[in-house]
Chains A and B, each alone.
Chain A
Amino acid sequence: GDSWGIFTFLCAALCNLPALPALNCTEELGTSQSIQKTYDLTRYLEHQLRTLAGTYLNYLGPPFNEPDFNPPRLARAERVPSATVDLDLWRGLTDNARLAANYRAYSRLLCYLRALDGQAATAELRHRLGHFCSSLQALVLSIAGVMSSLGYPLPVGPSAPPGTPVAPNDFLKKMDDFWLLKELQTWLWRSAKDFNRLKKKVPPAVVTLRLEARGF
């Protein structure tokens, strides 16, 4: 009861960190290289997640660690915006919308993963979660960097989800964790495709123009 209140508060605090100003770093890089770096980060995280998820699901125990485990999605409030999207809609996303969707999703995911880290029962889990959270934070910052260099405003800092009901029992809490990891995995798969698309649409020339404009 009490501990959940604390976690919600921590989440709110962590999630309302001021948006990154840091334009200095990205101007040096160049947008297309920033996009490439962001893409590389998603691939790295996807790889890291395989080990992390394996460890965490084993910690949760059966049936969560069974390969065919395919539970129905319960009608609980969605904590993280889902990666699932209609194909034509996904294709038609503007660069800004595409980046913003990624930024929002990973900011929320980072927040929840940090909460998991706080509760982790074993040293191994704490170590893995801690390492993963650092990498995930780098990804959020990288996306923010790309958005800034393209002149897009960062989405308003995600507040702790207002009415997410606390899981009433241990099993449902584990279910929440299971879906969190699944959503994270799916987002990492999707982001590779998102950043592939962005790579093609943002030529290096764009950066030069923007830097010159900023010079004035």
Chain B
Amino acid sequence: LSLAAPPKEPVLMCRSNNYPKGFYCSWHLPTPTYIPNSFNISVIHGTREMVCEKDVFPKNRCHIQYLQLFSTVKYKVTLTVTNALGKNSTTLTFDEFAIVKPDPPESVVAKPVPNNPRRLEVSWQNPSSWPDPESFPLKFFLRYRPLILDQWQHVELSDGTSHTITDAYAGKEYIIQVAAKDNDIGTWSDWSVAVHATPWTEEPKHLTTEAQITETTSVSTSSFMPPPTTKICDKGAVVGSGAVAVCWTAGLVLAAYGVLFI
């Protein structure tokens, strides 16, 4: 059995992801009241009261259009929540420029570059909610790391919607994300959906020519393995000097990979 309660102070957030068109505000209650609540939002700009149009979906959200741009006067948004047991309210005051935060970039794609074992080509698109990238260009922030490491690498890009990573570790799967920001004002968007990609690797030709002998000593090129040279050689039901040479080569390759990560 839950007791009905008067509303606690609501949580209000306002943001312009479609600058210079306008902004939206969204809100919620920190704890449920278990009875119906009604919300009233007021937006005051200088001496003028503006109408924030309630969105059908999601609920608890409204949007407003700017009548003028580059305003010196702050916007004051007050949200009041009322139910049968009481009311509560909260106010936000902000400059036009302070709440600009684009949506993350869309359609992020990362591809290997043929014959380039250390490159990855990344491309993306402006968020579709940003109405005028020509007059209000975005800049971008790219971050990437191999799955096996925790440290991100970062690149800030002041124009263009593509970038080639040139220092990828060969053969390692990467995770890549992009964020956007208006060139001059506001804050960075959230990170885009992450994409994965592995740089191009050459087919191991020397192993395929000795197909029968090396069947069981295949070396995976897309995931890092510690160098268990003995393990591979043990697996292979191989006899003869040729097999030993292959074993050796595999061991050296894996040892080299190991050195890279020390």
Q: Which residues of A contact B (CB under 8 A)?
A: 43, 68, 70, 72-73, 82-87, 90-91, 179, 182-183, 185-187, 189-190, 192-193, 196-197, 200
Contact = CB atoms under 8 A, between A and B. Distances in A.
Contacts of A197: 135
Contacts of A189: 70, 97, 184-185
B184 A192 contact: yes
A200 B184 contact: no
Contacts of B69: 84-87, 90, 190
A197 B12 CA distance: 34
A85 B20 CA distance: 12
Interface stretch (B71-79, B140-148, B169-177, B241-249): B71-79
Interface string B95-139: 001000000000000000000000000000000000000111100
Nearest to A91: B135
Contacts of A73: 46, 72-73
Interface residues of B, number: 22
A64 to B, nearest CB: 14
A108 to B, nearest CB: 15
A84 B72 contact: yes
A84 B72 CA distance: 7
22 contacts: A68-B93, A72-B46, A72-B47, A73-B46, A83-B72, A84-B68, A84-B71, A84-B72, A85-B68, A87-B20, A87-B66, A90-B69, A90-B70, A179-B72, A182-B72, A186-B71, A186-B72, A189-B97, A193-B136, A196-B136, A196-B183, A197-B135
Given A43-B184, A182-B72, 6 more contacts: A72-B46, A84-B68, A85-B68, A192-B185, A196-B184, A200-B134
Contacts of B20: 87
A196 B158 CA distance: 12
B72 A70 contact: no
B69 to A, nearest CB: 5
A155 to B, nearest CB: 19
Nearest to A87: B69
5 nearest CB pairs, A to B: A192-B184, A190-B70, A83-B70, A70-B74, A186-B72
Contacts of A187: 70
A189 B71 CA distance: 10
Nearest to A179: B72
B156 to A, nearest CB: 15
Contacts of A200: 134
A87 B69 CA distance: 6
B68 A183 contact: no
Given A68-B93, A72-B47, A82 B72 contact: yes
A87 B68 contact: yes
User: Which of A43, A183, A186 has the most chain B CB within a 10 Å cutoff?
Assistant: A186
Interface in B53-76: 66-74, 76
A83 B137 CA distance: 20
B33 to A, nearest CB: 28
Contacts of B74: 70
